[in-house]
Every structure is written in C-alpha cells, then in structure tokens.
Amino acid sequence: MDHLQQVLQYFRRYLFLVVFIENVVLVTGYWYLSSRTDLNPLLILAGFLGVALLFSWLFMFKASDRLIQPLRALWQAILHLSPGDQQLVPPPDLQKLRVGRELVANLTGQIYQLTSVADRVASNVRQEGSDLRRNFIANNLPLPLFVLDATETIRFANEAAAQYIGIASADLVGKNVYMVLDMSFPNEDTFDVWLKSAKTKNATATKSWERVRLNVRDNHPTRLFDLAGYYNKDNSQKAETMLVLFDHTKQYSQDEQAVSFIALSVHELRTPLTLLRGYIEVFEEELTGKIDPELADFMQKMSATAQQLTAFVNNILNVARVDNDQLELQLQSEDWSIVLTSSIDNLDLRAKVRGITLEHTIAPGLPPVGVDRLSIHEVINNLVDNAIKYSGTSKVIKIDSHLTPDGLVETTVQDSGLGISSSIMPNLFTKFYRDHRNRAQIGGTGLGLYLSNAIVTAHGGHLWVRSKLGEGSTFGFTLLPYSRLADEVKNSDNKEIVRGAHGWIKNHSLYRR
C-alpha cells in the first residue's frame, strides 16, 4: 500500500470516528434527558442542535489543522527551494509531522531531486553560453569568428575561421592574433591602431574595415574581406574583442585583376604616345611663328591632350605597381618652390586649353623637403587636373604652398567649381570611386586620388580635402622637411631614403611582438 492510500485511510478513520462519537453523544444525551426529565422535548432538541453546531465548529478547526499538515509541509519545502526565498522560509521539520510523514518525505525528496536537476541544467546552460567551444551559435556561425582576451590572444576561433585561413582551430587558440592574422589594410586606420585607442578611451567600441587583405601561408590563397570588430573592456568572460570576417575575395580580386589587365593594355600605349609627344614638340619648335593662330591653337590642344593621355597612362601603371607592392620612391632633398613651379608650368598649357588660369603663391624660405620628384609631380598633376575638370564656370585655380605651425610644408589646390557632396567624402580616396552625379559628364578613372593618397602617405605626409557642394573644393597635402628624414640616412648604411608606396598597411603590432 502506497503512502497516499495510507494518508487517505487515516483521514477516513479519523473523520468516521469523530462523527460517530459526536452522533453517539448527541443521541444518548437526547434520550437521557427526554426520558429522565420533564423538560419539553422541543426545547431539549433545540439545545442539542446548538451543542451539535458548536461541536461541529470546533471539530472543523481541529480537523482542518490536522488535514492541512502534509500540504503545509510541502508548501514550506517549495518556498524554501524557490529562488530568493531560501533565507526567508526554513525547510520543513518532518519529525514534527504527525500525519502523512512518509508521503511528505517522499514528495519532498522528489522536489529536492528535481531542483538539483534544474540547477545542473541551468549551470550547464550558463557554462555553454560562456564557453564558446560548446556554444552552438558560435561554432555553427558561417562567418569566420575570432574572440580575443585582454592580451590579444585568441581564446576561441570557430570552424569557419579555421577553414578560412587554413589552420586547425585547436592550433589557433592560445596564439597572439597578430601572429595568426597577417592582415594588411588600404590605409593607416588599421585594426591594431583602433584597438589600442579603444582600450585607452572606451569601455565599448565597434569598428569596420573594407578591403582588408589576409596574407596566408603554405600556398593557401590570399583572402580579401571586410572586417568588423567589437571591443568590450573588462568583460566578465575575459572575451574582450570579437572579430568577424566577411569574405569578398572574388569581388575585390576582380577589381585588382581589372587594374592589372588595364595596366597591361595601357603599357602598350607608352611607345606610340612617346613618339607622338616627340613629334608634337618638334612641330612646336619648328613651326612657332610660321603658322596662322588657328593652327597654332590646334597644336596647343594636341600637346595638352598628349600630356593628359600621358598622365592617364602613368596613373594606371603606378596604381598597378602600388597594388603589387612594386612602386618604390627615392626621397631626396629638393627645393620645393622649384619642384612645384616646374610642375605648374607643365600643367599650365592644359589649363589654358580649358580657358583656366593657374595662380600660385609660394611662401619664401620654405625648408628643403624630402621627395621623389616623379611621384610627387604625379600628385600635383592629379590634384590640378581634378580642379580643372570640376571647375565648372570658374576660370581660376589657386595653388598655395606654405609652412604649417607644425613645421610641415603644406600645398593646397583650390577651385571654385562644382564642389563635393558630404555623402561621398569618406569614399573619395577609394580606388575606382567616382561621384555618380557627374561621372557621365566628366571623364576619369577614379584612380588619381587613390594613387595620390598612397604616394603622399609614403612620403610621410597627409592628403586632405575640404569642400562644399556648389562652392568648390580645396585639396591639400603635407610634406616633411628633409631634415626630419635625415635621421633615416644616419641610421642606415644606405645614403638614400627609399620608401614603398604599397597602399597596404600591415598591423604594426605584428612586428612588435
């Protein structure tokens, strides 16, 4: 017989006994009083009914208290195990329980057991949530995911990440991220620069990068991707930084292949273009003053067009060299006023053909700068050429060179033409990017500013732009005085300064560790 049946039988016997005794007492009392006394039977009956009601009232309290004892013990056990109530409700004392002790002990044991199982399940869930190795979402995320601790050591890498870079996930954990992810960025805004800044300035931070290159070892194909980073300082799980990679290798490779193909095709133009420019120069020398003004104007336009075509060819070839890390710059001490004036003189004819005047102002006493003449000429050429293209109805382009308060030589090219919308400013130095509003009316490749930015950066300078739509634009760049670069020569066996305008900036931390 189970414990529940035992309790039911106890209560049945208890109730039967109490009701039986009550009835016996009432019947016996009524018989005794009615047969032995002269009292009115109705009065006796009324009196016994009152006694019966009083007895029933007292019995109700006594019986309910006894019947509720097992339920009260279970209620106390459940409240004791409820979250937040352990300190408020003590566990039931089964030794004091006179009714249903075995039943309550059995049920209470079941409750304790279920609570223990629930605690273990909750603990496992929390552990799986914090242990990324057991986390379903992290492991099955189709995107490469890396989680780093405060020392930038990889704590977790999912299978997608392992397959993406060709290294087993077990071999990734415990290694410094810069030793595993050999990443190169299109500019100096690299991952490690951002992370260092975030650690000193922010509690949380997010950042994304486009066109990141991953140089992979052991003949594994090079990857090109967008990168998203999330930083959370003093994370309780010691997972401070999270990196997610979005692969765009196919798309970005097509861009690079397009440049390589165009460069290969354009390279074949150099020989006939050189001959063409030579013949034009000969004609200009031999026919000056011997032909009518209309033909002389034609000659000027031919010469300007040949110069423009030469600049186009040089841009394409140098962009290909930048992307392939083959463009080297040899920085030498130069008088900037002479270099700038020479470049402007070469561009003057192109501006005159468009009815535009180049006005330049060069501050006296500028210090010698460290530049590569050919490449810096391309920067000036691209900036002035853009100003000519986007001048609109404006007929003057102002070129100014001066010394900044920081001791840098700064040169600006200002036009009063179409201007640039603020929405496209962040993409202005991106390869192939052009303003969709006027790309159909104004020719170009979208490579000039990309190349100029790479060259200026390689010189140790900075290229910037200020513009307002409809009011014109000002492009400027800085150059270091040669005296600041001279220390490189002193610390080197070479007597010249060589820089690479590769356009891809590695995580500097890779070389510090």
> What is the model's pLDDT at position 316?
66
> What is the model's pLDDT at position 246?
93
> What is the model's pLDDT at position 251?
79
Higher pLDDT, 53 or 438: 53
DSSP-based three-state secondary structure for 211: strand
* Tally of domains within the chain: 4
Percent of the chain with pLDDT over 70: 73
- Same domain for 29 and 89, yes or no, is yes
- Same domain for 10 and 118, yes or no, is yes
Confidence band of 44 (pLDDT split at 50, 70, 90): confident
> What is the model's pLDDT at position 325?
61
Higher pLDDT, 41 or 335: 335
- Same domain for 221 and 239, yes or no, is yes
Mean pLDDT in residue range 314-335: 73
Summarised one tens digit per residue, pLDDT across range 474-503 is 999 999 998 888 766 555 555 566 666 655
Mean pLDDT in residue range 461-482: 92
Domain limit, last residue, from 247, 279, 312:
247
Higher pLDDT, 246 or 171: 246
> What is the model's pLDDT at position 512?
39
Higher pLDDT, 486 or 390: 390
pLDDT at 194 over 50: yes
Structure tokens at 181: 């992810």
- Same domain for 72 and 38, yes or no, is yes
- Same domain for 226 and 292, yes or no, is no
pLDDT at 397 over 90: yes
Higher pLDDT, 493 or 94: 94
What is the rounded CA–CA span in Å between residue 205 and residue 82? 39
> What is the model's pLDDT at position 129?
47
Q: Within 10 A of 89 (CB to CB), how many other CB atoms are there?
A: 15
Summarised one tens digit per residue, pLDDT across range 21-32 is 777 777 787 777
Domain limit, last residue, from 278, 299, 326:
326
- Same domain for 119 and 155, yes or no, is no
Q: Which of 84-98, 99-113, 212-226, 356-370 has the lowest mean pLDDT?
A: 84-98
Higher pLDDT, 330 or 123: 330
pTM of the model: 0.51
CATH of the domain at 142: 3.30.450.20
Confidence band of 87 (pLDDT split at 50, 70, 90): low
- What is the DSSP secondary-structure string of 176-194? BHHHH--EEESSS--HHHH
- Same domain for 308 and 335, yes or no, is no
**Domain-located, residue 509:** no
Cα angle 492-493-496, degrees, rounded to a multiple of 5: 75
pLDDT at 306 over 90: no
The per-residue pLDDT of the chain, averaged, comes to 78
Higher pLDDT, 315 or 42: 42
Burial 50-88 (b: 16+ CB within 10 A, else e): eeeeeeeeeeeeebeeebebbeebbebbbebbeeeeeee
Task: Give, for 364, the enclosing helix (H) or strand (E).
Answer: none
Q: Which of 225-234, 259-268, 298-307 has the lowest mean pLDDT?
A: 259-268
Mean pLDDT in residue range 359-379: 90
* Residues in Cβ contact with 3 at an 8 Å cutoff, skipping those fewer than 6 apart: 100, 102, 103, 106
Q: Assess contact for 356 and 395: CB atoms under 8 A.
A: yes
CATH of the domain at 488: 3.30.565.10
What is the domain extent for residue 477?
Answer: 327-504
- Same domain for 117 and 151, yes or no, is no
Domain limit, last residue, from 298, 326, 354:
326
**Domain-located, residue 405:** yes
Confidence band of 510 (pLDDT split at 50, 70, 90): very low
* Residues in Cβ contact with 349 at an 8 Å cutoff, skipping those fewer than 6 apart: 300, 303, 304, 307
- C-alpha distance from residue 279 to each of 44, 306, 500 (Å): 148, 11, 35
Summarised one tens digit per residue, pLDDT across range 115-140 is 777 667 656 545 544 555 555 567 77
- C-alpha distance from residue 430 to each of 187, 279, 294 (Å): 10, 37, 41
> What is the model's pLDDT at position 42?
76
pLDDT at 336 over 90: yes
> What is the model's pLDDT at position 16?
77
- Same domain for 370 and 425, yes or no, is yes
**Domain-located, residue 465:** yes
Q: Assess contact for 226 and 246: CB atoms under 8 A.
A: yes
> What is the model's pLDDT at position 252?
77
pLDDT at 114 over 80: no
- Same domain for 478 and 351, yes or no, is yes
**Domain-located, residue 341:** yes
